[in-house]
Chains A and B, each alone.
Chain A
């Protein structure tokens, strides 16, 4: 049997060791995802990439592709489940898009639009979470954290540091900083680190910068979240001039 699998009936190739997500990204097929980033160890926590393989729900980002595998991806039922997951992520945090400087560049917001989400559906939790502005160049706003652990993995795997971790369980889970004070300002995180820019929402943002990228020129003003290899617009301009 050749190294191919079927996503919604479309036959695509895969290399040994690739996951369903890897193969689909290479083939230009969009499987919604939030906590996945090529180059980082798959995490399988957001569950937005849930697909059905032989009737079983699995995470596309963690399940290795297998020859002849038949994957259901873009079905109304799965899209509805994914929308519900996005709604739950919204209500669990304090996501106020109108005043968030990540708006238009936020993957969670883009997924909300992608799934046609019109409201949070569930009662908001309005959790009380701490803002950490102790770092000279970055702000950690836990209100917006979706526990995707992209910053945790980027810090360990790409930056060779160990700045972030998740602590607590269930509804008490929250992002922490690995310093004795627990403050970002006491960590060795720098503005050049991958972890400083990988946050898919507005939880880690450059400090002292307003909405430097105008509305209309932000990532998801220009691209659909379903496009592959979308290069994110940097929210912090290096020059104080317009293009």
Chain B
């Protein structure tokens, strides 16, 4: 417990959560209980960039997908795109490209379904401060079985798409240098088509649900809301693109910072700042500078940034989304959920299109090229733009790796959102479970990797302490793994 000034107090929420455990929130309060600073410390240290060094580049796509159990396909494909460049391949066969797109749509669909239905829907269906014991997916299945079951089935479908291509639902093997390792059989294609109409319809229902919730709750519009820069990938015509395209960065007012930027030059567009209180770096746009160059990525960024969505139902939903802000960008942090469901609908429609594409069952899967010394792969993962950069030596062993994962790009924004919510809800020394969950709701909107541990069945362990200027603990409230809130003092 630190003290930075004699007239400030530090409140620590420790642990919040992390990818497989915990993060920490600290709030610095002045004498009048105003929040001076909010910090979301990600205390995870994974070390992948270090321990991939010295390994053969062919291992990388399988190695780094272990970063995550929710979006392994995104890491697998970002690394695979980098490895394609290392083996001198700039363009895959049509079948390999479409298989990669298909598995990625399955990945984004299952991740988005998991996040909304399993993790976030209890907040919106029951209220942020509702009965803790009931505010979880089991509660949703009890009170809203139709919604809960759709969520479970949507996620399952995305996993089935992944398994058909990668051999396993989680941590399979699909991409190899210059292509893919397995064709999709016609039987597998037909099996996936059986449920696709339901998947599209349920995704539409999810968009409608989120749209309705957001429109009917004006108090949500300002919750944790920030006016920020945005970064995301777009296709050649400015359309929503999740697998391969150019980078677009725009200011909060929609003006260009850059567009159709070749991500292989990401080092000139993005820098990463290191701060001494977090293992997570703070990326910023070089053109804007360190102080104001932070930005948001993910569904909200992508649906704001794109000029269109290339599937009809999702495009109609996007038009309504943008109309909500009168055509300007939607900055509402809780609209992340709405945008996420629009993307899920797009994935469902795109999966149907790809399954009906004659190329998808082709068997020409790999191309070869001449070796290069480095590769940079970028993809739009469920949580935002994901960068993988590898350099290899002449023997094909990794010499250097740099990863900018999506949650890292939202780091500053999550900090700002936590500060905004703390200012709005922190009430003197008295800490309530409602405060804890409001802070979590703000963080959760970004669907950071830590949210999988955060909200699982309401069992996220949390602790909040209020410490006086002299270091005396004035109040301590904790929520244990069973979701029981206890006041220790």
Contact = CB atoms under 8 A, between A and B. Distances in A.
A135 B189 CA distance: 41
Contacts of A233: none
Given A133-B396, A212-B176, A215-B166, A242 B58 contact: no
A207 B167 CA distance: 23
B395 interface: yes
Given A99-B66, A133-B397, A241-B363, A214 B182 contact: yes
Most buried by B among A210, A215, A216, A217: A210
A134 interface: yes
A211 interface: yes
A242 B186 CA distance: 13
Given A215-B173, A240-B367, 14 more contacts: A99-B66, A100-B59, A131-B54, A134-B395, A208-B396, A209-B177, A210-B181, A211-B176, A214-B167, A214-B173, A214-B174, A240-B179, A240-B365, A241-B364
B94 interface: no
Interface in A115-151: 131, 133-134, 139
Q: Is the interface of B mostly helix, strand, loop or mixed?
A: loop
Interface residues of B, number: 35
B317 interface: no
Contacts of B446: none
B28 to A, nearest CB: 41
Nearest to B168: A215
A210 B172 contact: no
Contacts, number: 78
B365 A242 contact: yes
A98 interface: yes
Interface string A211-243: 111111100000000000000000000001110
Contacts of B176: 209-212
Query: 7 smallest A-B Cβ distances: which pairs?
Result: A215-B167, A240-B366, A210-B176, A211-B173, A242-B183, A133-B395, A214-B182
Contact of B61 (A131, A139, A210): A210
A187 interface: no
B56 interface: yes
A210 B364 contact: no
B166 A208 contact: no
B480 interface: no
A236 to B, nearest CB: 11
Given A207-B56, A214-B181, A241 B365 contact: yes
